[in-house]
Amino acid sequence: MRKNLLVLGLAAACLLQNQNALAQSGNAQQAGGSSNSTVRILSDKDIDLLRKDVRSQKKQLIATNLKLSDSEATKFWPIYDQYTQEQIKINDEKFALIKEYATNWGNMTDEQAAVYIRKWLAVDQATADLRSKYVPIVRGALSGIKAATFFQLDRRINMMIDLQLSSQLPLAQDQQ
């Protein structure tokens, strides 16, 4: 499992390098034009492909670690796919928020920083609400132990991705 988590973490890090590049390039442009460093900014299409790859690896990791019978798998995987589609919408908001932060970083006002925090908390709450919504749905398809295992895996993987993401974003106070 550790090897799979490392692979997923590396994929997330590749995806998230773009966010740091966006902040760096935005700061370099605002500081007076072009930067001497080479910064590759991924397109939205590139980001979408990386996100799909991370989702695929996440599903493989869950499949490897959540031991399901054929009957359980038949019930669970459609629920998982529906859950993932709803999670994508929340993650779209998260990535839009990151882009907004990167665009404003370097010239962020106190008010923009306060709005950023409120929006980030709303994304966190939406994630918690989604999990709460799906606990009884997953529990209807799996035993309590297996449902708990799924949510543990989901949370651990998302925490790793969030850690990678957070570590790539410059602190607001560093813009001054």
Low-confidence winner among 15-24, 32-41, 57-66, 138-147 (lowest mean pLDDT):
32-41
State yes or no: pLDDT of 3 exceeds 50. Answer: no
Average pLDDT, the chain: 77
> What's the number of domains the chain is made of?
1
Structure confidence at residue 35 (pLDDT): 37
- Give CA–CA dist 140/137, Å, rounded: 5
Q: How large is the average pLDDT for residues 146-158?
A: 94
Range of the domain at 144: 2-175
State yes or no: pLDDT of 133 exceeds 50. Answer: yes
- What would the pLDDT profile of 48-76 be if each residue is shown by its tens digit? 666 677 777 889 999 999 999 999 999 99
pTM above 0.75, yes or no: no
User: Could you tell me the pLDDT band of residue 168, with boundaries at 50, 70 and 90?
Assistant: confident
Low-confidence winner among 15-24, 95-104, 121-130 (lowest mean pLDDT):
15-24
